[in-house]
Structure 1
């Protein structure tokens, strides 16, 4: 016996509302909200603590008086962080690496996932299995370095971009998303004379904006936080990104021009403040980008794509 789709949806909605209105349902919803709030606090409070440390006076930080609210506002450490260290140049390098790598990775992922999502592609399954194999077994660090060295890509950003150009996991997500687009959409476009390239650019990609935004954020965060690849392929300090530079500052704080400071200023530049500033500068750009992509995460992808 087959139930109408609308009847199933109405029954599910009625059951959900009945559960929420019951005493047990209200308790369950309240419990879930409390758990989510606690999880959110575990992410927010550490960042607030670091932010408060970075703008508090060195004396208050040294005495352990700073928790989640600044004590004695002092932005001196930010001035020295950008003026007397390679942080500003490293920040620019991080932006270049992130923007260039994200664009190239998204382009390569789309050009790989879309053909594999087309059922008429010859050897579609073997190619997909070969891509899946790379998730389990990699070429290794040394062979990859030798390949990059033979291509004369060491000390260039192309080594960073080519080494991780396509994430197999992201590619499979995109492939599955393309496959979820109803066949009626593609058939209608092809009847109107739409080719594969135009179908991808005018139909498939606009319908896939939530997925594209999500994978763009994944790639962007990965390139922004890139550390090991920069250590391997970038030897020139002038080309290193912010992650490597901040890590070096945390280990060797001699990167700061301490000779240019008097004793009072050196006391203000305590270790905890330096660490806090480095972490805040690394985290804030990603937090600033997220709100612009958030709307795509909850947007209905197939709403209105098929009429009738």
Structure 2
């Protein structure tokens, strides 16, 4: 079927809009990369746009050697890995029973979970609960405080419900119990959804900020997001006494900000390509049933 002139114009317009939107995402990131590896003099004069001017990686060296960024990075890794594992385990163990139609009080429990998406206890009551459990200044305050995302749990529940009934019936006829059914049938068929929600939880824990501010007061336990934010507010916690005058001139504010953002963003960019192929498939399949 031959496409009409109006259809061609519309498709071209859509392509132009998508290209513009893509550039609004890519160009700022390229600008940050260029700022972080350009000379401080060029950055200070505003000569850097999307291409580095006078390559200089000194700021990266001092960023990790003279600040708590390296320790904060390891804290972020611990928070993200353990938190994501715990959240995924809790989400699976909640979503699977709710996806079984023979579960007693299934609808009231689901309704109660939906209620939490509309109303919450609030910041102060939540802090009082965490404090009364003596979880402040421990990572358990971060992991238990947001263990399950109701939205993610409902997506997983819908995905489990979309599993063909014939497959479940065959497994049960062969003698599979609920645990074996979950581990051997349901989860292997749910890899796209598991990868998608793992990415959701991972990004959430990696970028966690407000919860760390509220519950973690010890600097040696804070994550990279909080440390970088604090460094940017005071123009960097660098040990200036260890630098000569030329090096101090290289540590301009814009370079520090660019390096801090790059260090925070790059780990997620490295992980995302490995999960990207599951991302769209997982979301679409999980939205088949409500």
* Aligned with 2:146 (options 137, 160, 164): 164
- Counterparts of 1:172-183 in structure 2, within 5 Å, are 172-183=154-165
- Equivalent residue for 1:4? none
Task: Indicate how the Cα distance of structure 1 residues 234 and 63 shifts in structure 2: closer, same or farther if over 3 A, else same.
Answer: same
Normalised by the length of structure 2, the TM-score is 0.94
Asked if the contact 2:236/2:256 (under 8 Å) is kept, the reply is: no
Give 1:252's match in structure 2, choosing from 234, 242, 259.
234
1:37 matched to which residue of 2? 19
Contact (CA 8 Å) 1:110, 1:171: kept in 2 or not? yes
**Helix, strand or coil for the counterpart of 1:253?**
coil
Asked whether 1:89 is paired with 2:71, we answer: yes
Match of 2:84 in 1: 102
- Cα distance in structure 2, aligned partners of 1:99 and 1:300: 21
Structure having the higher Rg: 1
1:32-82 deviation per Cα after TM superposition (whole angstroms, max 9, x unaligned) = 222222111111110110110000000000110000000000000000000
1:162-195 per-position Cα deviation (integer Å, ceiling 9, x unaligned)? 0000000111111111111121111111111111
Of residues 206, 209, 214, the one that matches 2:188 is 206
Q: Which moved more, 1:276-285 or 1:150-159?
A: 150-159
Which residue of structure 1 aligns with residue 102 of structure 2? 120
Matched pairs, number: 285
Deviation of residue 26 (structure 1)? 3.1
Alpha carbons of structure 1 residues 298 and 232: separation in structure 2 relative to 1, 3 Å: closer
Q: Is the 8 A contact 1:207 1:302 kept in 2?
A: no
For 2:278, which of 259, 271, 296 is the aligned residue?
Answer: 296
Q: In the aligned structure 1, how far is the partner of 2:196 from the partner of 2:283?
A: 13
Gaps of at least 5 residues in structure 1 are 1-17, 304-308
Cα distance in 1, alignment partners of residues 8 and 147 from structure 2: 47
Q: 1:250 to 1:300 in 2, by over 3 A?
A: closer
CA 1:145–1:300 in structure 2 vs 1: closer, same or farther (change >3 Å)? closer
Bigger mean CA deviation after superposition, 42-51 or 143-152: 143-152
**Residues in 1 aligned to 2:250 and 2:283: alpha-carbon distance in whole angstroms:** 52
Match in the other structure for 2:288: none
1:192 aligns with 174
How far residue 225 of structure 1 moved from its aligned partner, in angstroms, is 0.3
Using the TM superposition, give the Cα deviation of residue 253 of structure 1 relative to its aligned residue in structure 2, in angstroms: 2.6
- Partner of 2:223 in structure 1? 241
Aligned to 1:281: 263
| Structure-2 change in CA distance of 1:254 and 1:45 (3 Å) | closer
Superposed CA deviations along residues 195-242 of structure 1, whole A, max 9, x for unmatched, are: 111111111111111111111101000000000000011010000000
2:198 to 216, 225, 231: 216
Could you tell me which runs of 5 or more consecutive residues in structure 2 were left unpaired when the two chains were aligned. 286-290
Task: Describe the SS at the equivalent of 2:265.
Answer: helix
Moved more, 213-222 or 248-257: 248-257
